[in-house]
Amino acid sequence: MQDDYIIDMRHITKRFPGIVANDDVTLRVKKGEVFALLGENGAGKSTLMSVLFGMYQPDAGKIYLRGEEVKFDSSDDAVAAGIGMVHQHFKLVDNFTVAENIVMGVEPKKRLAGFLPCVDIKEANKRVKDISEQYGLAVNPTDMVGDLAVSQRQRVEILKMLYRNAEILIFDEPTAVLTPKEIEFLLDIIRGLRDQGKTIILITHKIEEIKKVADRCAILCRGKLVDVLDVASTSVQHMANLMVGREVKLETTKGEPHFGKEVLKVDHLTVRNADKFEVVQDVSLSIHEGEIFAVAGVAGNGQGELANTIAGMQDAYKGTVTLDGKDITSETVRNRVEDGVAYIPEDRQGMGVFMNLPLDENLALRRYYKEPFSKGGVLDHAKIREFADDLIERYDIRSGQGGRTITRSMSGGNQQKAIVAREIEQHARLLIFVQPTRGMDMGAIEHIHDQIIAERDRGAAVLLISLELDEVMQLADTIGVIYNGKLLKTAPASTMTSQEVGRYMMGVADND
């Protein structure tokens, strides 16, 4: 009986300061199945898999692999045992080629002039090409990783594992960074890998994906294993309820929009990147009070630059940005904030927070210089802490040591929650939200969507930039589709179907 299970984790408990990440979790995975691990942020999915992958040692419990007990002191041991992990944040060297990244650490060697050992790059390229063809993961071995799109980088990560003969592949939130089309493609890849006899563990909080690809599914809630389900015979609603631990509504309900005055006007805006390439071309749009303007588009089509330019992080090359009738094209970031611009950037760890500062200081980032948080240039840490504690409470930001937690040690979803909380709390005139729910679980997404709608109903203008078509369709009053830096189509949300939007996202222009 036991032999059926390739992985058998028994009574795993893992504690971190102030938190029990895994509480007596027992998990069994069969060989050759796609096994999903479903749970909210901080439910302990990633920790459990890091334990399996040897990155953490469990405080209690045992792991059996193919029926034999194993102890991994590091992830190297796990890799040697045939386990591979595709991390949420890729671990690749940008200025190495695809093949170099894949073989790094286990390079094929040759001897130059008969004795000088060196890496056999030709052989590496060949092997990478072979594997990529075998599993249908098209990559060019000699491309620089830095030039690749996100979905291609992910493929490189997967190939890295396959190159090391991994039989068990752990995917940590693999679709968080992908576009709808790319997600479909990845799910195909996962099915393909399963058909070739690999065992797949999928960490996710997107139930639809589980429905599409997984055979069985374990649900974790606050560190505990809630249930293991057969996916085919379980409803989406039931899974969602188990995951959040209460009833959730899957559709966001929002009332009719009431447009007021124009808040943001972007006029013929062109933005160049460092290479003088026009990443945003001649974009014009206008957003009113009480309007959610959603920009749909595949990643890397200029959305990030558009948002950055409106928020003042990047300079406009041509064109103007007007807020409430005032030209802010060359205003400083702080003046824009004071004028009422809130901004959730795409790059949350590199821009949205200081990873090495405590949570409370990050939460006060928009107001620390003003009374009552500082007087005469002297900070009032007590006031900052008080403010932060309030936000932590209301937005359910989970961390080990409350406001004093160093932000780096928090989970990605909770870092995002902190940014969202901070920006919404500004009660700004214009909210620029880039992927506000990226990497978040359903309960949190629901909460944030409600907040965005509440901000709209309060009379704020919302510029929502999302890669998730569902999110765009759910929230938008007006949809603009961006492709190659150009706004291809702008129309009221009610006049467009998701199929149409999807077509524009692929760059198919209007017929009329």
Partner 1 sequence: MTDAEKKIGGAGWFQRLLDGRWSHIAVPVFCVLLSLLVSGVLLVVLGKDPFVGFYSFLQGSGLAPKGSYGGGSGIQSDFFTFLGYLAPMLLASLGFVVGFRAGLFNIGISGQMVASAFTATVLVGYSDLPAVLSKPLVIIIGAVVGALLGAFVGFLKYRFNVHEVVSTIMINYILNYIVGFFINMYFVNGLTRSSLPCSTDAALMIYNVQIGGISCTIPLGIFLAVALAFFLDWLFKRTVVGFELKAVGQNPKAAKYAGINVGKRLIQAMALSGALAGLAGVAYYCGYYTTIVPKTLPQMGYDCIAVALLGNGNPIGSIFASILVSVFQNGSNFMSSTLGVQKEIASLIVGIMLLFSACGGYFRFLAHRKVQRAEDSKIKAKAKAEAAAEGMTGEGEK
What is the binding site for partner 1 (CB under 8 A)? 57-62, 311, 313, 332-334, 337, 343, 345, 347, 350-357, 361, 365-366, 368-369, 374, 377-379, 381
Whole-number Å distance between alpha carbons of 436 and 428: 16
Of residues 93 and 333, the one with the C-beta less far from partner 1: 333
Instruction: Report the residue number, 11 or 258, with the smaller CB distance to partner 1.
Output: 11
Q: What is the amino acid identity at position 4?
A: D
Closest contact distance (angstroms) between CB of 333 and partner 1 is 5
How far apart are CB 250 and partner 1 at their closest, in Å?
33
Q: Which is nearer to partner 1, 221 or 355 (CB)?
A: 355
Residue type, 343: Y
Omega of the bond leading into 372 within 30 degrees of 0 (cis)? yes
For the bound state, the minimum distance from the C-beta of residue 417 to partner 1, rounded and expressed in Å, comes to 17
What is the CB neighbour count within 10 angstroms for residue 179?
A: 23
Contact 6, 30 (CB under 8 A): yes
Distance set, CA 127 to CA 123, 140, 215 (Å): 6, 12, 31
Shortest Å, Cβ 378 to partner 1: 5
Nearest alpha-carbon partner for 48 in 214, 210, 203: 203
| Residue 112: count of CB within 10 angstroms of its CB | 9
Continuous segment of H or E residues that includes residue 267: strand 262-272
**Smallest separation, CB 479 to partner 1 (Å):** 27
Name the residue type at position 254. Answer: K
Residue 197 or 350 having the CB closest to partner 1: 350
- Residue 6 is classified by DSSP as E
Determine the Cα–Cα distance for residues 31 and 390; give it in Å rounded to an integer: 47
- The smaller minimum CB distance to partner 1, of residues 143 and 386, is found at 386
Distance in Å, CB of 384 to partner 1, minimum: 10
Q: Tell me, what DSSP letter sits at residue 144?
A: B
CA 503/CA 512 separation, integer angstroms: 15
Q: Name the minimum Å distance from CB 382 to partner 1.
A: 12
Residue nearer to partner 1 on the CB measure, 97 or 303: 303
Q: Where are the alpha helices (DSSP H) in 176-285?
A: 180-195, 207-213, 236-244
Q: Provide, rounded to whole angstroms, the least separation between the CB of residue 477 and partner 1.
A: 27
